[in-house]
Structure 1
């Protein structure tokens, strides 16, 4: 743990915060006045990000019940929860599905989001003005070839977010879903299991979104007046109009 979580002042929890969108979001929310509790498995990187933004680093594996319970025990207050932990593995067609990859995607994206949200809902309600912001994907809105397993997981995350919005109607908790398109992070490197050439090819010739672009959107959503709920945001780079329709500049 980098620094103690304050007992007063607004607190934001960000999962998957050791790099990419999660790390950028932690910095953006810290700049907006939140004390940020950062959770991820890569503790050394997590502590570096926490030190940069004055936050608290706590080890978190969203696929493990005990890890989530231990994490939440160190979060005495939660005003904003950013469910960012997730990812894709592979591009298999349904006929060739690697069930272990599919299981990892479902556990990380869907059940991981459920575990953390369920565990922190009491604190979010107790805050009197809580907010759940879930980072989804264009894959939650559009099925595409090569996306079967990830589509299935992210459609599930979108359904979870939208049902939670219904369930919390009348309660002091807002629920928002942010669905980015192409963001140049380590996402594709994970998807292609460390194949840097394949990962680089995804973004070649495209002026893609950055992690900071998405983080700024999270910050904006989180700082709207309490009576304003930004239900859904779909954001893509100018060079992208759908999952597979992308303009590439020739090198």
Structure 2
């Protein structure tokens, strides 16, 4: 089971799945570094949670900022026990590859994969040195399934999937666990941001599919994986709404 006062570092913490994960971990007594580039939402979440949190405005595509992120934390928040790599987006996505924007495609990869790699590289050495830690990578069923009009997003999540596997193998002689969560359709703001703020497009998208997961469903899955005894590693968790296959 998770010890109280473990320290978690959650990216994309201010909304959606990240917010739900933070609420869940905080409820279990963890101290949490809330990392997000949306400072207003970050401040609101910190206010909702109260004690034992540290809001950290952070754009994970900024290499220098990520490399120095631990230096910006109070000493009592620096020894990270749980890293939840949740930040990601699909802005400009759901567009056929040959007609979409190359800049949009690059931005998706830069956040979803390269940003995740940067954060993990900044935090993992401390875990190795201390001989403990859990890394939770938020992937997607799109990492393993062919979804037309979703090439950059799927490629980024396939990269997260393979990176998770390789790091898990590299750390096999350590107590550090690498957990990959692969959610299906989940009601977050990713669809609204995909369409650059178009709420109606988001409503129609979710209405078309009917049943969907909620962020709290994914947060429970994260907690379940982290709650396992140290010798149990939930390597991958594939999570779908009941009406999907």
Same fold, TM exceeding 0.5?
yes
CA distance in 1, matches of 2:223, 2:47: 19
Aligned to 2:151: 148
Which runs of structure 2 are paired with 1:29-44 in the superposition (5 Å)?
Answer: 29-44=25-40
Structure 1 CA distance, aligned partners of 2:184 and 2:233?
A: 22
Partner of 2:81: 79
1:26 paired residue number: 22
Q: Which of the residues 217, 224, 229 maps onto 2:228?
A: 224
Task: Provide the aligned C-alpha RMSD in A.
Answer: 1.4
Aligned residues: 234
| Deviates most, 14-23 or 200-209 | 200-209
- 2:64 maps to 66
Q: Distance in 2 between matches of 1:57 and 1:103?
A: 27
Matches within 5 A, 1:110-125: 110-125=113-128
Distance 1:111 1:129 in 2: 24
* Alpha-carbon separation, structure 1, partners of 2:127 and 2:41: 27
- In the TM superposition, residue 134 of structure 1 has moved relative to its aligned partner by 0.5
Return the alpha-carbon distance in structure 1 between the equivalents of residues 149 and 80 of structure 2: 37
Of 186, 189, 205 in structure 2, the residue corresponding to residue 202 of structure 1 is 205
Residue of structure 1 aligned with 2:163, choices 144, 157, 160: 160
Deviations 1:91-121 (A, max 9, x none): 2222223111110111000100100000001
Q: Distance in 2 between matches of 1:126 and 1:52?
A: 33
Give the structure-2-normalised TM-score. Answer: 0.91
- Structure 1 residue 65: deviation in Å? 1.2
* Residue 218 (structure 1) shift: 0.8
Task: Spell out, residue by residue over 1:29-50, the C-alpha distance to the aligned partner (whole angstroms, 9 max, x if none).
Answer: 1112211111001112112212
Please give the alpha-carbon distance, in whole angstroms, between the structure 2 residues aligned to 1:219 and 1:212.
10
User: 1:57 aligned to 35, 55, 58, which one?
Assistant: 55
Alpha-carbon contact 1:76-1:123 (below 8 Å) kept: no
* 1:126 Cα deviation from its structure 2 partner: 3.4
Which position in structure 2 is the counterpart of 1:244?
none
By how many angstroms is 1:239 displaced?
Answer: 1.8
8 Å contact kept, 1:32–1:219: no
Q: How does 1:188-199 map to 2 (within 5 A)?
A: 188-199=191-202
Larger deviation, residues 220-229 vs 106-115: 220-229
